[in-house]
Structure 1
């Protein structure tokens, strides 16, 4: 973190109107001359350097907040925020804003199977609270994870009201297709028609691990997990992940995306990653949370 010098910043500003000051500071932010998390000068200090009223700078700061370029914290001053924390309505492409965003998981790591299933259900409910659009479960082998996604989805219908639910589980030929199909029909009825099919789940699936708010210990553990996975993992600050996705030909044109949670994560880590996906990565892709 750094605090910008009022005199140096004033030397880069030629306009003295609130909108003009905001526009020029916005350009400096986009050019990364003003780095993320830098604290802008106080309203009074910059007003003095520019020879304008305190109200003029206050209006400029208001314009910047409306654009999602800065935020004002109590006792923390006004700081430049990462692009991924800016508003979905400010999305400028390329491509179209992401319409729907969800997550896929094979379950949450926990001391025992029962605890893992309960933690998975809490994660689904938390995703709904965050405004995510879908929760998809994939079957896992072994004691950890979800061995019966359909049963867990049935339980999830009673703990959620809006989020769409799905599973990647396939039905082996000749092994109870009618029974499993009936179970899925029951899940759809219990959920009020919220069951989604494979087409929506698979339009774009990527494993992502935003590290915006991760501690050093968390990030080190996430990177170790990512290196051990067979698939490519997008890991790092949300704005970098967003840049990588927007440069991905498979992403451009996608209307909805499903982001995979790596296996072997506990409830705390899953919650942390979903929080960053919803509050930082999603808005950088033009996504807006669904109303509760």
Structure 2
């Protein structure tokens, strides 16, 4: 590896039963707490709307911040098409303060999924006027970084008003991440001083090899970032170590990977989205394959994605193996 692994993280979708949602949310909080106990550096949650996955990551991470003390807490990612940047900036700063400066918000742009079907509920009066471009990210960055939000401030009777978003959390602006899958998004994130989240999906613009494409995104990001080669990048592939798995779990994991593998053969759809393979096997086997991955060799942070539909016991086994077996095999000390 050209870069020793410095930060070990994981990502969960936080699934729950629509008829009884509390156990699923509690499971997510327990998994994050376990991650801290196992020595993970970061825990990340996905974001889902009108589905049976975490719809309010800030609420979940606020709760997680009170059950943990060290582990960094991130979102991968919040789709800004569903958000008001000013209100979101308030929530981000509040959770960052509650966590003691451990929040790592990841965001992305674009219209909400199935926008034609949800816009009447989401933006009944402004659906056709909403701006889903990078300007939406820029607004959020400005608010989080303490830029002026209004020209009004001062005392009014018994109330005191600020001209910036409150609370203001120093340092949060440097922990903002952009979840990108294209050369354009990589360049934009770099030019605007963000950190860069890569995942198991990329846009096949200039090649058809996943690792080669992801490497080009990382290099483009760093070429346009003020910090250059030191700019932070986190890679989020699906890895499923089986060191301590039961035979039943191994069969389940292999069937899951086999079902998902055909989509990795070629770019999908008009946007030419290319999916990474899932990595399943012993930690030594996975480590060997990752060491050969061109993009992995360029990062020193990972947020390995937990499979969507597994059980709590499966996540416990996977995280335990990642922390105790795979992490050390990838060169992470401690």
TM class by smaller structure? 0.5 to 0.7
- What is the CA-CA distance between 1:288 and the residue it aligns to? 2.5
- In structure 1, what is the Cα distance between the partners aligned to 2:48 and 2:79? 12
Residues 201 and 258 in structure 1, CA contact (< 8 A), matched pair in contact too: no
**2:317 aligned partner:** 272
Structure 2 residue runs without a partner (length 5+): 105-175, 178-194, 199-233, 264-274
Query: Which has the higher relative contact order, 1 or 2, with Cα contacts under 8 A spaced 6 or more apart?
Result: 1
Q: 1:252 aligns with which of 280, 297, 303?
A: 297
Residues 105 and 136 in structure 1, CA contact (< 8 A), matched pair in contact too: yes
**1:28 aligned partner:** none
- What is the CA-CA distance between 1:200 and the residue it aligns to? 5.8
Alignment of 1:96-175 (within 5 A): 96-108=3-15, 112-141=20-49, 144-167=52-75, 168-172=77-81, 175=83
Q: TM-score, normalised by structure 2?
A: 0.55
Q: TM-score, normalised by structure 1?
A: 0.63
- How far does the alpha carbon of each residue in 1:208-247 deviate from its partner, in whole angstroms, 9 at most, with x for none? 0001111111011111222333542000111110011100
Residues 16 and 25 in structure 2, CA contact (< 8 A), matched pair in contact too: no
Aligned length: 195
Q: 1:186 aligns with which of 94, 113, 120?
A: 94
**2:190 aligned partner:** none
- In structure 2, what is the Cα distance between the partners aligned to 1:130 and 1:136? 15
**2:249 aligned partner:** 218
Structure 1 residue runs without a partner (length 5+): 1-93
Q: SS state of the match for residue 112, structure 1?
A: coil
- How far does the alpha carbon of each residue in 1:112-140 deviate from its partner, in whole angstroms, 9 at most, with x for none? 31100000000000000000000011113
**1:87 aligned partner:** none
- What is the CA-CA distance between 1:108 and the residue it aligns to? 4.3
**2:235 aligned partner:** 204
- How far does the alpha carbon of each residue in 1:173-224 deviate from its partner, in whole angstroms, 9 at most, with x for none? 7x42111111011110000000123226442111000011111110111112
Q: SS state of the match for residue 277, structure 1?
A: helix
- How far does the alpha carbon of each residue in 1:142-195 deviate from its partner, in whole angstroms, 9 at most, with x for none? 55321211110111010000000110112117x421111110111100000001
Residues 207 and 234 in structure 1, CA contact (< 8 A), matched pair in contact too: yes
Alignment of 1:76-115 (within 5 A): 94-108=1-15, 112-115=20-23
